[in-house]
Chain A
Amino acid sequence: MTKKVATREAYGRALAELGKKNSAVVVLDADLSKSTKTADFAKVFPDRFFNMGVAEQNLMGTAAGLAAAGKIAFASTFAVFAAGRAFDQIRNSVAYNRLNVKIAATHAGITVGEDGGSHQAIEDIALMRSLPNMTVFVPADEAETAGAVEAAAQMNGPVYIRLGRAGVPPIHGEGFRFETGKAVVVREGRDAAVIATGIMVTVALEAAVTLAKEGIEVRIISMHTIKPLDVKTIVSAARETGALVTAEEHSVIGGLGGAVSEAVCENHPVPLKRLGIQDEFGESGKPDELLVKFGLTAAAIAGAVREVVKRKG
């Protein structure tokens, strides 16, 4: 079995690597550097690392100032504090000015686990994708994370990178190349398509194996960029398979499911089911227990696929 790596760990490594290549990169954290893994960067580049303490509004504003003075500023904290607590600072100081601030938010979704609902960001994708100028990445594994970090550093303007606490297995082979706004078909299929993001890509691949045994061939798409959305790949999937399921560790309101529904309704309506958090807050528990409780399992995805395939008529 291949080793699981949390995307936050992949971020820490990619960031330290990026620091060597690009001296304009600076990193800010809000007293969570050991958890967000920005400590990896801080160890190598202490002069380019700024701990702002438990003060997320100032974290984002300071990142904006550094970016306005020519730096590429990576700002990290937990997703719930980054996107939620500092939303106005991200809106007015960062996004409005299209500044080079890369918000790398870790511990997103319910797999934060035991800390409970107060710490489980289930609305951050919706918040970030609603902001003009913002690019939104939700990598599914180590390779997508490394690609997202590199792409974020290359592009001019604000980026939100959503990262997780829990380990995920690799889903891409050696030749994988991350392209902003270009979804990846990780498994072919003609009967339905599951469009997944973050940790749900792995879960969707498990569901595809089960469904294949029943004779249902499912296309699995890793949507690592939520914005700009790869409408072309979504519409192709709708046209070619005729049935869609979205899967995300996020509210079904405004996130991947919302974005895909908008694209499909406008371009090529087909039966569609959104899997995610059903408009409720999370709670304490082990990550695996919570995924079962909130219906983010391979069995739930398989069930949703059967349902949309039936609705094709």
Chain B
Amino acid sequence: MENSEKELAVLKAAANEIRQDIIRMLGTAGSGHPGGSLSAADIVTALYFKFLRIDPENPKNPDRDRFILSKGHAAPVLYSALAQRGYFKREELLTLRKLGSRLQGHPDMKKLPGVDMSTGSLGQGLSAANGMALAGRLDSKDYRVYVLLGDGETQEGQVWEAAMASAHYRLDNLTAFLDHNRLQIDGPIEEVMSPEPLADKWRAFGWDVQVIDGHDMNQILQAVERALTVKGKPQMIVAETVKGKGVSFMENQAGWHGSTPNQEQTEKALAELLANKL
């Protein structure tokens, strides 16, 4: 199925806006994680602006789709999507990481409407997603659970405990993304502690696996649409991504995992993003 040019253009523009928000938020906060937020921007955009059945007016609706950002350090990408979907005012984004803010350094479900699970300690999101998917099935609800994992995160053993369980319980109402940007704090994942071959591992664990370009909006949409048709298996979409995507001097630089742009770098990054806006 081809997605209309118009829809793709709208989504690409939304992803660009999210990337701008990420840069503004982190430039203002002075701490946080730009690289992995930027690499996940297109996936999160597709979910929040196309697939998730959610109602910002009723964030606790029991029938809603769930999204868990298991790589919780990419909080800015989630916050921007939530703000743009109307969960709270976009100005609030600039309170990120400040005392008293609902926008904690890592997502906090008790503080911020729209956050379905607090995350931050890596490796825990998929287990929670399994629980939500099991509950949905038990209650005969048709909501879906989406979860986004980092590739470095798959070094956590709990991820594989959870991966085993998703397949064992045939959770076909669960769709996971792997943000495969190939970098972690100390360098390339293959040098620090290789979890590869990742797609093969998920397949071996009993998942339906697709590998896509995680910055090609059309591929993202098609992969999710295909995942929705899979029966009897959880679905993993391995998204090949670029850490820092969209800001030239941040791309493929491990150093931008957890350091933030100064004022000059913030302006330069925003100028680049604006220039690339459709």
A residues in contact (CB < 8 Å) with B? 26, 47-48, 50, 52-53, 55, 57-58, 60-71, 73, 88-89, 91-93, 96-98
Residue of A nearest to B62 (CB): A70
B28 at the interface (CB under 8 A from A): no
Whole-angstrom distance between the Cβ of B128 and the nearest chain A Cβ: 4
How many Å from the CB of B36 to the closest CB on chain A?
A: 19
Distance A58 CA – B161 CA, assembled complex (angstroms) = 6
Q: Is the interface of B mostly helix, strand, loop or mixed?
A: helix
Q: In the docked arrangement, what's the CA distance between A67 and B120, Å?
A: 19
Question: CB-CB < 8 A to A48: which residues of B?
Answer: 138
Whether B131 pairs with A67 at a CB distance below 8 angstroms is yes
Residues of B within 8 A of A93 (CB): 117-118, 124, 127-128
Complex alpha-carbon distance, A67 and B109, angstroms:
13
Q: Are B127 and A92 in contact (CB under 8 A)?
A: no
Q: Which of A47, A52, A68, A98 contacts B128 (CB 8 A)?
A: A68
- Whether, in the assembled complex, B135 has its beta carbon less than 8 Å from a beta carbon of chain A, the answer is yes
- Give B162's nearest chain A residue, CB to CB: A58
12 further A-B contacts with Cβ under 8 Å, apart from A57-B127, A96-B108, are A26-B138, A50-B169, A55-B161, A62-B131, A63-B131, A64-B117, A64-B128, A65-B129, A88-B124, A92-B121, A93-B117, A93-B118
- Return the contact of B165 from the options A26, A62, A73, A96 (Cβ within 8 A): A62
Q: How far is the CB of A29 from chain B (nearest CB, A)?
A: 13
B134 within 8 A of A: yes
Instruction: With A65-B130, A73-B131 as known contacts, state yes or no: A92 contacts B118, CB within 8 Å.
Output: yes
Q: Is B59 an interface residue (CB 8 A)?
A: no
Contact between B135 and A66, CB atoms less than 8 A apart = yes
Q: By CB atoms of chain A within 10 A, which of B109, B124, B164, B169 has the most?
A: B124
* Residue among A53, A55, A73 facing the most chain B CB atoms (10 A cut-off): A55
Do the beta carbons of B161 and A57 come within 8 Å of each other?
yes
**Contact across chains for A68 and B161 when beta carbons are under 8 A apart:** no
Closest chain B CB from A74 CB (angstroms)? 13
Residue on A nearest B110 in the bound complex, by CB = A97
Contact present for B134 and A65 (CB under 8 Å): yes
Q: Does residue B157 face the partner (Cβ distance < 8 Å to A)?
A: yes
B135 touches A58 (CB 8 A): no
Assess the A69–B165 pair: CB atoms within 8 A: no
Partner of A88, one of B121, B129, B135: B121
Q: Say whether B206 faces chain A, with CB atoms less than 8 Å apart.
A: no
Are B132 and A58 within 8 A (Cβ)?
no
How many angstroms between the C-alpha atoms of A64 and B124 in the bound complex?
10
**In angstroms, how far is the closest chain B Cβ from the Cβ of A250?**
26
Q: Which residue of B lies closest to A58 (CB)?
A: B161
Q: Which residue of A lies closest to B163 (CB)?
A: A58
| Nearest CB in chain B: distance from A178 CB, A | 28
Determine whether the beta carbon of B124 is less than 8 Å from that of A61. Answer: yes
Closest to B131 in A: A65
- Complex-state Cα separation, A55 to B164, whole angstroms: 10
Bound-complex Cα distance A71 to B129 (A): 14
Q: Are B135 and A96 in contact (CB under 8 A)?
A: no
Q: Are B130 and A68 in contact (CB under 8 A)?
A: no
CB 8 Å contact bits of B122-142 with A (1 = contact, 0 = none): 011011111111111011000
Q: What CA separation (Å) do A48 and B131 show in the bound complex?
A: 12
With a 10 A CB-CB cut-off, give which of B116, B136, B161, B168 has the most chain A CB atoms: B161
User: Whole-angstrom distance from the CB of B155 to the nearest CB of chain A?
Assistant: 14
Q: With contacts A47-B138, A55-B165, A58-B161 known, is A69 near B121, CB below 8 A? A: no
Q: Indicate if B95 sits at the interface (CB-CB under 8 A).
A: no
Docked-complex contact A57 and B158, CB < 8 angstroms? yes
CA gap between A305 and B22 in the complex, in Å? 64
- The docked-state distance in angstroms from the alpha carbon of A57 to that of B163 is 12
Cβ contact of B116, chosen from A68, A89, A92, cutoff 8 A: A68
A55, chain B: closest CB distance, angstroms: 4
Q: How far is the CB of A33 from chain B (nearest CB, A)?
A: 16
B120 — which chain A residues lie within 8 A by C-beta? 92
Which residues of A are found within 8 Å of B127, using beta-carbon distances? 57-58, 60-62, 64-65, 89, 93
Interface residues of B in 155-210 (CB under 8 A from A): 157-158, 161-162, 164-165, 168-169
Cβ of B132 and Cβ of A69 under 8 Å apart?
yes
Q: Which B-chain residue is minimally distant from A57 (CB atoms)?
A: B158
